[in-house]
Amino acid sequence: MSQMLPSEIWLTQILPRLQVSSLVTFGSVCKHWHALAGDDLVWRDHAIADFHLVHSYHGNHGWKDFYVRLLDSVVYTWGENSAFRLGHSQGRIGRQSRVFHTAIPQKVNTLSNQAIAVITSGHSSFHALDGYGKIRILTKVGRILRDNMFRLQIMRPTLTHVQFPPSTQIVQLSSGRSHSIALDKTKVAWHWNHGNMPQAIPIQDVKQVVANWNYSTLLTCSGKLFTVRKPRLEMPSATAAAAATAAAGPLLAHLAGSTTTTTTTTTTTTTTITSSSFALEMHPPEPLGYNHIEFDKLITDENESISQMAGMEYFTLVMTTAGKLWQLSSTTEPVLLEKYSKPHCDIFSQSNPIDHNNKDPNSSSSSSSSSSSSLLVAHQNTFAVHYFGSQVILLGHHTPGLPLSSPTQISLSQPICKLSLGNRHCGALTHEGVLLTCGSYSQGALGHGYDDDLKDQLVLRPVKELENMFVLDIGFGGMQSSCVAVPLHQKS
């Protein structure tokens, strides 16, 4: 019966809709189904969808082999390691706390071999999204130990899970200073403070989410923009009582290694958290405050729409399909950044532009790099723009109270598919999975070693420590860096 259906129907309409576990079961039924389930294009579609790939990659051993290796992806972190935030190993900090750093990418064992697909860097933590749509947080947890002479704090890198409802599958993730926001497959947005339970945001049909430094911006399918303040989190004095919702209690207890007691009043239910290392005061979920940005009135061309966003400390950057870059805020008028907009800048005047259309014939057109004509990223007060077909990255910086700086141009010698920024360093990912970095030394966040020149470098250089790895994703922030990678070639 199955042989009566054309193979094209199986390969394009049926098998791509199955989960990988069901696809494997499907292939074990008979020889005909086994041949269909092993088709390289089917596994290509699953790899791109499940692991959010933006590369034009085709493995020498086929996409099925590549998918299997994606399940054993490795996470690397490097840069500032104060309080052992990078998660490499546990350590000990005495009364005089010193700031440590590592200038060479090192493997994070707790996040490796966990099918990690996407990684983002917050102020002092990392959020990782796996191929199953679940989010893990790598953060630091400490406990104070005392003896007769010394007061020591043992810091342990701790891996926890964001506690979404069981059926929730996350497809987008973005991190700010102390909060993160995610979008699930049903177009529902969730946000949370680091260490808190996620809260659903009551805005329908969300298309894209970005975390600003202290709030978030949402784009709906109808083109509406909203800014949403982050969930409330306060750090009380040492003698203040700590409180949290009953639902958040078990997670916080796990994070802090604490004991919990629950009390009920006529108005709210709170959970008291006590810990030998810190205290948190978390309030029950409150009505969300969000503002609608009237930006759609500025788009006069019916064929023009918002293609992507990036969150800064005080503004949100919005790129339109016409290549216009806008600076938006819920309290000020929108500003067109002409020096960074495609119609106004002269970055396409080079005689030998990079050909971004020269990709592997087996690559998928569904990747984000091919569905948009540019890359836009931001971190706090710094942002970067790259238009496909140009040979440069436009790097900008905003200083509060001063006009926006003119673009700093970073030259490219090959096509890139992803960008990421820290405070003073930049990372670019090529279609061949090579990580390039430039900028300030930033406590080793460039990844070029301890002997690297401490002066700012505006020339992108490959990270040699990862030369035998295919880098899937990068997440820079502050003075720290992270990436997800798999071995470049299958082990024999």
| Whole-number pLDDT of residue 141 | 53
395 phi and psi angles, rounded to 5 deg: -105, 125
43 phi and psi angles, rounded to 5 deg: -70, -30
| Whole-number pLDDT of residue 230 | 85
| Whole-number pLDDT of residue 233 | 56
Q: Tokens 């969730």 map to which residue?
A: 190
Q: Class for domain 2-69, per CATH?
A: mainly alpha
Whether the Cβ atoms of residue 107 and residue 483 lie closer than 8 Å to each other: no
Whether the Cβ atoms of residue 278 and residue 251 lie closer than 8 Å to each other: no
Residues of the chain with confidence (pLDDT) below 70: 1-3, 57-60, 89-99, 140-157, 195-196, 232-290, 296, 346-371, 453-455, 489-492
Structural tokens at position 292: 């609608």
| Whole-number pLDDT of residue 326 | 93
Q: Please give the CATH topology (third level) of the domain spanning 72-231+288-487.
A: Methylamine Dehydrogenase; Chain H (2.130.10)
Nearest by Cα to 283 from 232, 238, 237, 247: 232
| Whole-number pLDDT of residue 352 | 47
| Whole-number pLDDT of residue 14 | 85
| Whole-number pLDDT of residue 196 | 67
The enclosing H or E element of 127 equals strand 126-130
List Cβ neighbours of 240 (8 Å cut-off, separation of 6 or more). Answer: 279, 281
Nearest by Cα to 320 from 373, 377, 366, 368: 373
| Whole-number pLDDT of residue 88 | 80
Structural tokens at position 491: 């082990």
Nearest by Cα to 60 from 360, 272, 340, 350: 360
Question: With b meaning 16 or more CB within 10 Å and e meaning fewer, what string describes 273-300?
Answer: bebeebbbbbebeeebebeebebeeebe
Euclidean distance between CA atoms 295 and 224, whole angstroms = 8
Domain boundaries, the chain: 2-69, 72-231+288-487, 234-282
List Cβ neighbours of 431 (8 Å cut-off, separation of 6 or more). Answer: 55, 56, 57, 359, 415, 416, 417
| Whole-number pLDDT of residue 127 | 93
| Whole-number pLDDT of residue 289 | 59
Whether the Cβ atoms of residue 315 and residue 398 lie closer than 8 Å to each other: yes
Euclidean distance between CA atoms 384 and 396, whole angstroms = 6
